[in-house]
Structure 1
Amino acid sequence: MGLWKQKQLTQEIVLDHSLSVTGACKLTGMCRSQYYYVSKKDDSAVIAALDQLSSKHPVYGFRKLYAYLRREGKPWNHKKVYRVYKLLNMNKKRRGKRRLPAREKQPLEQHISINQKWSMDFMSDSLASGNRFRTFNVMDDCSREILCIEIATSISSLRVTRTLEQIIDWRGKPLCIRVDNGSEFTSHHFELWCKDQGIAIQFIQPGKPMQNGYIERFNRSYRKEILDAYLFFNLSEVREYTQTWMDEYNNNRPHEGLGNLTPTELSKNIRQQQQINQLVT
Structure 2
Amino acid sequence: MLRIVGVSRSTYYFQQTHEPKPRTSSGGRPVTKYTLTKDGEKVSNEQVKEWLMEAIEGDGFAYGYLKLTYWLKRKYNLVINKKKVYRLCDELGVLKPQRKLKAKHPRRLARNRNVTGPNQLWEVDIKYGYVHGEDRFLYVLSYIDVFDRAIVNYHIGLRCEGKDAANTLEQALWKRKLYGGTQLPTIRSDNGPQFISEAFESTCQRLQLEHERIPPRTPNMNAHIESFHRLLEDDCLSRHEFESYTQAYGIIVEFMDYYNNRRMHSSLSFLSPVEFNKAHLETGLMPKSDVKV
Q: Same fold (TM over 0.5)?
A: yes
Give, in angstroms, the shift of residue 102 of structure 1.
Answer: 6.6
CA distance in structure 2 between the aligned counterparts of 1:103 and 1:147, rounded to whole angstroms: 23
2:249 equivalent to 1:247: no
Within the candidate set 141, 144, 169, 1:164 is matched to 169
Cα pair distance change 1:41/1:123, threshold 3 Å: farther
Give, in angstroms, the shift of residue 148 of structure 1.
Answer: 2.4
TM-score (norm 1): 0.62
Cα pair distance change 1:111/1:256, threshold 3 Å: same
2:121 equivalent to 1:111: no
Within the candidate set 192, 208, 214, 1:204 is matched to 214
Q: Corresponding residue for 1:257?
A: 267
Give unmatched runs, 5+ long, in structure 2: 1-37, 46-62, 83-103, 179-183, 285-293
Partner SS state of residue 236, structure 2: helix
CA distance in structure 2 between the aligned counterparts of 1:210 and 1:141, rounded to whole angstroms: 13
Q: Corresponding residue for 1:186?
A: 196
Give unmatched runs, 5+ long, in structure 1: 1-37, 46-62, 71-75, 86-98, 275-281
Partner SS state of residue 191, structure 2: coil
CA distance in structure 1 between the aligned counterparts of 2:79 and 2:160, rounded to whole angstroms: 40
Q: Corresponding residue for 1:126?
A: 130
Cα pair distance change 1:41/1:189, threshold 3 Å: farther
Percent identity of the aligned residues?
25
2:262 equivalent to 1:267: no
Q: Corresponding residue for 1:64?
A: 64
Task: Within 5 Å, give how 1:58-97 maps onto structure 2.
Answer: 64-66=64-66, 77-79=72-74, 84=81
Within the candidate set 223, 227, 232, 1:222 is matched to 232
Which amino acid in the other structure matches residue 112 of structure 1?
T
After TM superposition, the structure 1 stretch with the greater mean CA deviation from structure 2, 124-133 or 193-202, is 124-133
Q: Corresponding residue for 2:247?
A: 237
CA distance in structure 2 between the aligned counterparts of 1:210 and 1:82, rounded to whole angstroms: 57
Q: Deviations over 1:121-153 (max 9, x none)?
A: 011121113111111111111100012231111
- Tell me if the contact between 2:105 and 2:201 (Cα under 8 Å) persists in the aligned partners: no
Q: Corresponding residue for 2:22?
A: none
TM-score (norm 2): 0.60
CA distance in structure 2 between the aligned counterparts of 1:123 and 1:238, rounded to whole angstroms: 13
Cα pair distance change 1:134/1:83, threshold 3 Å: farther
Give, in angstroms, the shift of residue 104 of structure 1.
Answer: 3.7
Which amino acid in the other structure matches residue 132 of structure 1?
F
Q: Corresponding residue for 2:157?
A: 152
- Tell me if the contact between 1:145 and 1:250 (Cα under 8 Å) persists in the aligned partners: yes
Which amino acid in the other structure matches residue 166 of structure 1?
Q
CA distance in structure 2 between the aligned counterparts of 1:102 and 1:117, rounded to whole angstroms: 17
Which amino acid in the other structure matches residue 131 of structure 1?
R
Cα pair distance change 1:104/1:157, threshold 3 Å: closer
Between structures 1 and 2, the one with greater helix share: 1
Cα pair distance change 1:209/1:83, threshold 3 Å: farther
Which amino acid in the other structure matches residue 65 of structure 1?
Y
Q: Corresponding residue for 2:205?
A: 195
Cα pair distance change 1:105/1:192, threshold 3 Å: closer
Which amino acid in the other structure matches residue 139 of structure 2?
R
- Tell me if the contact between 2:214 and 2:221 (Cα under 8 Å) persists in the aligned partners: yes
CA distance in structure 2 between the aligned counterparts of 1:188 and 1:230, rounded to whole angstroms: 36
Superposition RMSD in Å: 3.3
- Tell me if the contact between 1:103 and 1:205 (Cα under 8 Å) persists in the aligned partners: no
Give, in angstroms, the shift of residue 268 of structure 1.
Answer: 0.6
